Structure 1
Amino acid sequence: MFFHIVLERNMQLHPRHFGRNLRENLVSKLMKDVEGTCSGRHGFVVAITGIESVGKGLIRDGTGFVTFPVKYQCVVFRPFKGEILEAVVTMVNKMGFFAEAGPVQIFVSNHVSFAFNF
């Protein structure tokens, strides 16, 4: 199932990215770091849909890096037990079959009894 949620993340930015395009560089790095990742708590991050806020940066001693707290909106995919998904079968063997539904790989055993009438 897909959810639209708000998440927070502390982003570190190198000093070479400071300047006129600071916000654009920060958003670009956030998208690169977060989109396509998976967390056990929220699921698979499909896309970032908006930036709610970027907090004040904190300069890290000795490195020049700055840490910005960023609050962003994103679409996540998190399937639940018993949920019906549309999937593409990728491999069939004598034990069962594998299928993919977006980023999720699914295995269905031959021992599962289906109530299908053919």
Structure 2
Amino acid sequence: MAFYLVELTKSVTVHPRYFHAKLGDHVIGRLLALTEGTTSGRYGYLIAVVQVERPLPPGRILPGTGHAVFPLRYKALVYRPFLGEVLDGVIASLTRHGVFVAVGPLSVFVSARNVPSDMEFDETEQCFTSVVQGSEDRLEVGTLVRLRIVGMRRDATEIAAVGTLRADYLGVLG
């Protein structure tokens, strides 16, 4: 997994009712609420704000509203997946067309064509099972798997990925 520490900026708007001794704490709280857990196509998934530049810059009052805008600089821990990366995840859901694997905040779709060739979808149990004699491998909700990302689409607020389980050392773990 690729985790990075990046320096970012964000303008935080504060209502006049918070103009008191704890204004700085409120501004930082707003920054955390607005940024942590969000997705950026450019940087990836923003996991946590690690450091906010101190002292806080002075705010600028917006005419007509009384709100103040604070331009903040901060460092954040981000997770950014890459094409070709090998990841471990847990099957979150599945259909006859493929499985959705949760890799932290990233959801990766693995098409039935990219499931190992020795596995078939079992309608009665709603899972993929191995047809090889003596193998007990199953792809079902909660199964830990290793996959490779083979396709990815990034936009401003979302990252969509497609993966495969068809390669050496990929598939069911354990």
Fold shared by both chains (TM-score > 0.5): yes
State the Cα distance separating 1:85 from its structure 2 match: 1.4
Separation (CA, whole Å) in 2 of partners of 1:21 and 1:85:
43
Separation (CA, whole Å) in 1 of partners of 2:66 and 2:89:
47
Do residues 27 (structure 1) and 79 (structure 2) align?
no
Q: Mind listing any 5+ residue stretches in structure 2 that lack a counterpart?
A: 117-165, 170-174
Question: Is the partner of 1:75 in helix, strand or coil?
Answer: strand
State the Cα distance separating 1:2 from its structure 2 match: 1.1
Separation (CA, whole Å) in 2 of partners of 1:30 and 1:85:
30
Question: Is the partner of 1:12 in helix, strand or coil?
Answer: strand
Q: Which residue of 2 aligns with 1:87?
A: 89
Separation (CA, whole Å) in 2 of partners of 1:19 and 1:64:
14
Q: Which one has more relative contact order, counting CA pairs under 8 Å at least 6 apart?
A: 1
Point out the structure with max Rg over C-alpha.
2
Q: Which digits, 9 at most, give the CA deviation of each residue in 1:68-104, with x for residues without a partner? A: 1100111111101111111111123222211101111
Q: Which residue of 2 aligns with 1:38?
A: 39
Q: Mind listing any 5+ residue stretches in structure 1 that lack a counterpart?
A: none
Q: Which residue of 1 aligns with 2:80?
A: 78
Runs of 4+ in 1 over 4 A off after TM superposition: none
Q: Which digits, 9 at most, give the CA deviation of each residue in 1:39-91, with x for residues without a partner? A: 11111111111102432211100111011110011111110111111111112
What's the % identity of the aligned pairs? 35
Q: Which residue of 2 aligns with 1:14?
A: 15
Q: What is the number of residues matched between the two proteins? A: 118
